[in-house]
Structure 1
Amino acid sequence: MNFNKIAFSFLFLSITVFGQQKITVEDIYSGAFRAKGMSELQSMKNTNQYTVLNFDRTTRSMQIDLYDFATLKKVTTLIDTKEKKELADGIDSYAFSSDEKMILIACNSEQIFRHSFTADYYLYTIATKKLKKLFDFQVQEPTFSPDGKKIAFAKGNNLYIYDIAADESTQITTDGKKNNIINGITDWVYEEEFSFVRAFDWSADSKKIAYIRFDESQVPEFSMTLFNKDLYPTVETFRYPKAGERNSLVSLHIYDVFAATTKEINLGNYDNFYIARMKWTNDANVLSAQILNRHQDNLDLLFIDGNSGTAKVVLNEKDKAYIDVTDNLTFLKDNSFIWTSEKDGFNHIYLYDKAGKLRNQVTKGQWEVTSYYGFDEKTNTVFYQSVENGSINRAVYKIGLDGKNKVLLSTQTGTNAATFSPNFQYYINTFSSATQPTTYALHEAKNGNQLQVIENNEALATKLKGYNLPSKEFFVLKTAKGNELNAWIIKPKDFNASKKYPVLMYQYSGPGSQQVNNEWNSADDYWFMMLAQQGFIVACVDGRGTGFKGADFKKCTQKELGKYELEDQIDAAKALANYPYVDKSRIGIWGWSFGGFMASNCIMKGNDVFKMAIAVAPVTNWRFYDSIYTERYMQTPQENESGYDDNSPINHVNKLKGKFLLIHGSGDDNVHVQNSMQMMEALIQANKQFDSQIYPDNNHGIYGGNTRIHLYTKMTNFIKENL
């Protein structure tokens, strides 16, 4: 369950009051002052170049431009929409064939759930500049075969193969049916909680396609009413497994492209399991699959023979709490592989041979690897990002595959991320901090030297000086119980230590999350600064259960989601209350999604500490949330009844004393509005007054048109009236 930071970042301010420019909600969420970036940045694989999707405001057109890594100079424009009337509505995304001579272009995308969408697709041949619309219908996840001759795609829960030369499609599954059988595309809960949509993959020799089949026929259905602007509402029904309920039955299949036959892989040793990842290795006849048990504390990495279908376990991981699934599995030329794991208590990089025997733990230390970037086989060097220089920061490193000769490549303290050139000679470093807008610069990979700035958003930084914004101060808050927690605080610019200020606390608090991080402002940060301009102190504390401080800190909340997280927010509020400049009778808290669950718990169980709370799209009863996420941390309600009930705020409504605002989108397919509706009814029956706002047909993100402006204006007014 991830609360997306909707891309309204870097938005600024326009109204001048008494000579000082003041922030308004309208300014923040209008989108008029976004920082410059590098949209759809992709590193090429065959040439030392990269592409960016650019937008020309003068002609209202988009271009896929090709640049040289060494010089940063534009080599050519691969395609310009102003020359292709078919692309008048723009380019949403693009993907290259393996030889990088053709591009699949998506446009007119229609969102399904968080990650999934259908789109119109065009095939563009770079040499001839020929653009061809592939189908007269929208499809999902079209993917080139490695030899560039075919494209596999999904439509109507079935898989197809399109032959480019013959200009014809072959249907390879036929039993796909909505809310029943899905072939090659994940179901709702896999998409949301395992974060992938395309559940099919081409073998390296283009001769086979492996895919996962989902039988959702026994999964309970969930229905949402969509009001729209029609005379009669419509009902959208989809399969949604809540905690303890039946999941889809999954099976793994291999389709032989030339024989037109399908083989089901025998996974009979497993019961009630997930296929959390599936992809072909560099050996064209060996498929890998990651099988998780329902508790998600035991993972088998299988290697499967593409001909016989025989599966063998090459690696097994167990955890006393749960195992996080990643996309870091990387196969080297000899089919040895790189893997990341928390098995020593911190997330690190490991090297295994092709039989699954550990060769080496590449990184070690009481810090976390946060991204694996790649492996340079010429120099036997691994590139990665980690929190080695502080859990609120991100730095880029390189290290030998033998774990020696580690080099810090990034020099600035804050959040660094890298996009490497195909030959690992260069990388584009993306950097920001709480005081520095996002910059993009070219660096040498051998030593990290900066060669050239691409974009530094200097105009943005200059513009902001006129607003004299308050700063975000980072510190470690120590609770009365001795827990040391990362925190930040924003004080009014005219802060006077002899005055008493109200405090609004913000948090998310979900497992493995982080809100106290040293990076450039999100839209919410500007809102916090606006509140500071109006006389509030805003603070944020990452309690136990949050990420990047080791497995023990993150997983201590196991089976009691909301217990220690709540304890830490209450203890943090008490610590802040002891500051001489804080009015301890005026402390509020808010959050979204898991943060809304926490804010609800705080105003109920922390009724002597918090004066008000705002909960946006909260889980109010863990029995209402999905199986994969909830059971990862709580096991099932049948196994852990008290863990569910003791920590769900719907069971503590009788404790409400302060002011409470409950907000939800009625079209939320993730955290269903059922959570807030039943919470409202419980509050009503407890005769507790509260405020609420429903956003019709809005999903978990609650945005679009003036929706964000309305939402944040409502929250601002509630805070000013009640804190």
Structure 2
Amino acid sequence: MKKLLVIFLLSSSVAYGQRNFTIDETVMGPGKFAPKSIYGAKWVSNMDAFSSLDSTFQNLIAREASNNWQTKQLASSNDIKQALSSLIPDEKFNLRTFPTDYQWIDSDNISFRANGQKKSYGIQYNLGTKQAKIAYALPLDAESEELSDKLIQTAYLNGNNIEIINAAGDVIQVTRDTIDGIVNGNPATHRNEFGIDKGMWWSPDNKQLLYYRKDESMVSNYPLPQWDTRVATIKDIRYPMAGMKSEEVTLNIYNTDSKQFVQLQTGEPKEQYLTMVTWDPSGNFVYVGVLNRGQDHLKVNQYDAKSGALVKTLFEEQNTTWVEPQNPLIFLPNNNKHFLYQTDKDGYNQLYLYDTQGKLIRHLGFQDVIVTDFQGFDAKGTKAYYIGATNKGMERHLFEVDLKNGKTNQLTQVNGVHNASISNSGKYILDQYSNLTTPNNLQVIDAKSKKVSSVLTAPNPFAGKINLPKIEFKNFTSPDGKTQLNARITYPVNFDPTKKYPVMVYLYGGSHAQMVTDRWLGGVGYFDMYMAQNGYIVFTLDNRGSDARGFDFTRVTHRNLGEAEMADQMVGIDYLKSQSYVDKDNMGMFGWSFGGFMTSSFMTKHNDIFKAAVAGGPVMDWKYYEIMYGERYMDTPQENPEGYEKSSMLNKADRLNGHLLIIHGAQDPVVVQQHSMDFVEKCIEAGKQVDYFLYPTHEHNVSGKDRIHMYDKIAKYFDLYLKK
């Protein structure tokens, strides 16, 4: 059942001058000890050259294939400052570095954002003439700006309404809703589930703005107490809990020429999810994924942009568990009738080539590779590129697929997690990667000859400074006897297998997250290393239900959150308990959010294992969680009362054993404080002691210097109960 996958021992010898992390460095360390890197690396438009910022962040440099990838300066932050001063002399800019958000327009021009004291500007800058021009100017408080092609018009949000500023500087107010609960153009539609990260889309001709209109006026207000005044006040948020009334969303089009509106006729019921929003390249149609509230039936529909009428349903996807669209359609650059669609319906999230009649032309998947990041097409539009998860989710690599025959090639080979892209010509690959033993390497690969040109080999940033613990990958077999589970152990510095050590199990366990990958240090967190330096064995396992492992790996949790996940975690826990160096009487667990739910579940359902635990922002009863996420995995409380009963902590407080510290943000809009407060009340009723700490001004995550305070509290809590 248990197999050793890879073992690598990071040096744990204590050389002169080396030390352990301070508690501050559990938060500040990732910036302080980040491996050397190259920032802002981008392929230059239509050239076999890439640009980046230099080590001072003051200069934009380029490396060209024709010059054997040697550096050449293109522009400096002083050049930018002078150009802006000449262009807008009455404005003040705080440009301490070269603009890190720069983008290539063509091989001579870049664009970037510059915030002044009066307005926020979109700037185009010519590298040859060193002249700048204003592409757009927005109010400083403008949000979610959506730029049209060639920056002809820019849409943005002013509160809950949409405004457009055109090339002449004229402002057009698109929506004028004043009713509380009516929200236009906001990317937070459907609570950002289903891959939604924007709320407005310009048509290909830049004349029509498609946008979400969300009506959440019928959704329950949820009160968040505010403590910043002498008499506390209440901030209400709209929070649709599982099984209760949900928001109603429509998609609308505003024509900037005619000033007319069109609403897409997405039909009934009103409580449905509209995602995968994509303009047809012709601008005549809009494609929308219409997903029912039960999230088990998806229709990919085509709508007429002029009338809003449904033209046809291209195809449908149904499942007895859930269907989860995550990406818009991607039209081929050389064929406006063909597009790529991503789905995991056949086992793994992969690409499928369809035509606009809804006919499947070709499955473009490769083995069990999971597409995690689509990278685009080559110049001819005959090949596509994507980053894919491989090796049971442990690695990420760049792949090339031929759209005509589906032939797929893996373009990066060294084990690890690669962030790679290909030049427009398809000749070169810019590849940045790390693995357990490699802090960061950046190289250029000749796609044809496979010749590698090294650009950067980062040294170990801890060498001679910090005592690094020993880190080890392991894999186990899940209780179903057929699924590999990836895990990571971080050992105490100067680990002695003849001694016994307390344990901290750190876990998450929920969807769309993966804790263990073959990246630098195995993805271990700085707090984990801090605890290992202070004498703890730290263990993390990715159970079924977590990310990058395919359909079966995720769907096993349906309607029973926490059950398969705990069974998988128990495999790793049993392994730990079998080791002679583990002090099985002094084991602890720490998790946040879904990890807090898992931690609370262990302390009540498997209450004889952990002596102490910390649950941060924990879900205590899924009926208090929001609709979009909660109903996907659990259905509604009305449909699945047994599952909600089984997963709830509120009816199991009497089983609490050991020392449990609950931490919560008082302003948490994700896992509302009611979860932990109700559990505390149930503990009081059951005569069970529980420790509780509240961060008054924080939301779902505790950040900034307060996070240092939090980690200090957690470390001391474990020291109090687990160290003899």
* Bin of the TM-score, shorter chain as denominator length: 0.7 to 0.9
Q: Relative to structure 1, is the Cα distance of residues 720 and 439 closer, same or farther in structure 2, using a 3 angstrom cutoff?
A: same
Counterpart position of 2:181: 180
| Worse-superposed segment, 301-310 or 583-592 | 301-310
Kindly indicate whether the alpha-carbon contact (under 8 Å) linking 2:488 and 2:522 is maintained by their aligned counterparts in 1: no
Superposed CA offset, 1:96-138 (max 9, x none): 59679573516499xxxxxxxxx95212232432458824441
Query: What is the TM-score of this pair, normalised by structure 2?
Result: 0.88
**What CA deviation, in whole Å up to 9, does each residue of 1:333-366 have, x standing for no partner?**
3220111211211222211122221111112323
Is the alpha carbon distance of 1:625 and 1:43 closer, same or farther for their aligned partners in structure 2, counting shifts above 3 Å? farther
Which residue of structure 2 aligns with residue 115 of structure 1? none
> One-letter code of the match for 1:242?
M
Equivalent pair of 1:407/1:447 in contact (CA under 8 Å): no
Give per-residue Cα distances to partners, 1:138-162, cap 9 Å, x unaligned. 1112222224322122212112221
Alignment of 1:364-443 (within 5 A): 364-376=366-378, 378=380, 380-443=382-445
1:539 aligns with 2:545: no
What is the CA deviation profile of residues 149-207 of structure 1, one whole-angstrom value per residue up to 9, with x for unaligned ones?
2212221211222112x221111222254x4211111346433x245343111111112
In the alignment, structure 2 segments of 5+ residues that lack a partner are 1-10, 85-90
**1:96/1:279 Cα in 2 relative to 1: closer, same or farther (>3 Å)?**
farther
Structure 1 position 208, deviation (Å) = 1.3
Structure number with the bigger relative contact order (C-alpha 8 A, sep ≥ 6) is 2
Query: In the alignment, which residue of structure 1 is the partner of 2:20?
Result: 22
2:365 corresponds, among 363, 366, 370, to 363
User: Contact 2:77–2:95 at 8 Å: present in 1 too?
Assistant: no
SS at match of 1:134: strand
Contact 1:668 1:697 survives alignment (8 Å): no
User: 1:106–1:355: structure 2 CA closer, same or farther, 3 Å change rule?
Assistant: farther
Establish whether residue 276 from structure 1 lines up as the match of residue 275 from structure 2. Answer: yes
612-621 or 575-584, which deviates more? 575-584
Name the structure 2 match of 1:305.
304
SS of structure 2 residue aligned to 1:715: helix
Matched, 1:126 2:129: no
Post-superposition shift, 1:425?
3.0
Distance 1:45 1:315 in 2: 36
How far 1:302 sits from its partner (Å)? 1.7
Partner Cα separation in structure 1 for residue 509 and residue 700 of structure 2 = 17
Letter in 1 for 2:335: D
Question: Residues 479, 348 of structure 1: CA spacing in aligned structure 2 closer, same or farther, 3 A cutoff?
Answer: closer
Which range moved further: 260-269 or 180-189?
A: 180-189
> Is the CA contact 2:115–2:140 (under 8 Å) kept in the aligned structure 1?
no
Q: Does 1:87 align with 2:93?
A: yes
1:105 maps to 113
Match of 2:144 in 1: 141
Query: What displacement does 1:450 show?
Result: 2.4
**CA drift at 1:370:** 2.5
How far apart are 1:507 and its partner, in Å? 1.0
After superposition, the Cα gap between the structure-2 partners of 1:242 and 1:122, relative to the gap in structure 1 and judged at 3 Å, is same
> 1:269 deviation in Å?
5.0
Quickly say closer, same or farther: Cα 1:250–1:77, change in 2 above 3 A.
same
Q: Secondary structure at the match of 1:86?
A: coil
RMSD: 3.0
Q: Report the CA distance between 1:448 and its aligned residue.
A: 5.0
- Give the structure 1 partner of residue 205 of structure 2: 205
The CA distance in 2 between the partners of 1:106 and 1:630, in whole Å, is: 40
- 1:362–1:402 contact (8 Å) kept in structure 2: no
Question: What is the SS of the residue equivalent to 2:275?
Answer: strand
CA distance in 2, matches of 1:450, 1:46: 21
Q: CA 1:359 to 1:239, structure 2 compared with 1: closer, same or farther past 3 Å?
A: same
Relative to structure 1, is the Cα distance of residues 345 and 475 closer, same or farther in structure 2, using a 3 angstrom cutoff? Answer: same
- Distance in 2 (CA, whole Å) between partners of 1:297 and 1:654 is 36
Flag the 1:249–1:47 CA change in 2: closer, same or farther, 3 A. Answer: farther
Partners of 2:232 and 2:308 in 1: CA distance = 48
The letter for the 1-side match of 2:320 is: K
Partner secondary structure for residue 467 of structure 1: coil
State the alpha-carbon separation in 2 of the partners of residues 197 and 108 from structure 1: 26
Change (3 A) 1:522 1:580: closer
- In 2, are the aligned partners of 1:97 and 1:144 still within 8 Å (CA)? no
Write the distance in 1 (CA, Å) between the matches of 2:353 and 2:328.
12
Opposite residue 591 of structure 2, the aligned amino acid is G
1:547 counterpart SS class: coil
Distance 2:472 2:633 in 1: 32
Q: Could you tell me how far apart the structure 1 residues matched to 2:485 and 2:656 are? A: 27
User: Deviations along 1:432-486, whole A, 9 cap, x unmatched?
Assistant: 1122213332233446542231x3322xx15435434123211112466646421
Which amino acid in 2 is paired with 1:416?
H
> Residue in 2 aligned with 1:160?
163
Partner in structure 2 of residue 709 of structure 1: 708
Which stretch shows the higher mean deviation, 335-344 or 524-533? Answer: 524-533
Percent identity between the two aligned chains = 31
1:243–1:626 Cα contact (<8 Å) kept: yes
SS class of match (1:241): coil
Q: What amino acid is the match of 1:707?
A: D
Q: Secondary structure at the match of 2:390?
A: coil
Distance 1:50 1:281, change over 3 A: farther
CA contact (8 A) 2:445 2:451 kept: yes
Report the CA distance shift for 1:342/1:354 in structure 2 as closer, same or farther (over 3 A).
Answer: same
Displacement of 1:72: 6.2
Structure 2 distance, partners of 1:546, 1:213, is 32
Instruction: Output the amino acid matched with 1:22.
Output: N
1:259 aligns with: 258
Q: Report SS of the residue matched to 2:368.
A: coil
Q: Give the letter aligned to residue 373 of structure 2.
A: S
After superposition, residues 241-640 of structure 1 pair within 5 angstroms as: 241-268=240-267, 270-311=269-310, 312-327=312-327, 329-332=329-332, 333-335=334-336, 336-376=338-378, 378=380, 380-446=382-448, 449-453=451-455, 455-458=456-459, 461=460, 463-478=462-477, 482=481, 484-521=484-521, 525-640=525-640
Distance 1:261 1:66, change over 3 A: farther
Find the aligned partners of 1:94 and 1:583 in 2 and give their Cα distance: 50
8 Å contact kept, 1:590–1:614: yes
Matches of 2:398 and 2:713, distance apart in 1: 41
2:6 is matched with which residue? none
The Cα offsets for residues 369-422 of structure 1, whole Å up to 9 and x where unpaired, read as 332222225272222222333421112222222455432211211111213333
Structure 2: how far apart are the matches of 1:700 and 1:44? Answer: 39
Contact 1:101–1:125 (8 Å) recurs in 2: yes
Tell me the distance in 1 between the aligned counterparts of 2:670 and 2:45.
Answer: 36
Cα 1:102–1:155 change in 2 (3 A) is: farther
More displaced 10-residue stretch of structure 1: 339-348 or 711-720: 339-348
CA shift, 1:653, in A, is 1.1
Give, in whole Å, the separation in 1 of the partners of 2:163 and 2:104: 18
Tell me, yes or no, if the aligned pair for 2:299 and 2:315 is still in contact at 8 Å: yes
Aligned pair in 2 of structure 1 residues 688, 410: CA closer, same or farther (>3 Å)? same
Change (3 A) 1:707 1:402: same
Q: What's the secondary structure of 1:320's corresponding residue?
A: coil
2:525 aligns to what SS in structure 1? helix
- Unaligned stretches of 5+ residues in structure 1: 1-12, 110-118
| Paired residue total | 690
Contact 2:94 2:115 in 1 (8 A): no
In the alignment, the residues of structure 1 paired with residue 470 and residue 380 of structure 2 have an alpha-carbon distance, to the nearest angstrom, of 45
Task: Tell me if structure 2 keeps the 8 A contact 1:492–1:537.
Answer: yes
Post-superposition shift, 1:537? Answer: 1.0
Residue 86 of structure 1: how far off its partner (Å): 2.7
Amino acid in structure 2 at the alignment position of 1:334: N
SS of residue matched to 1:387: strand
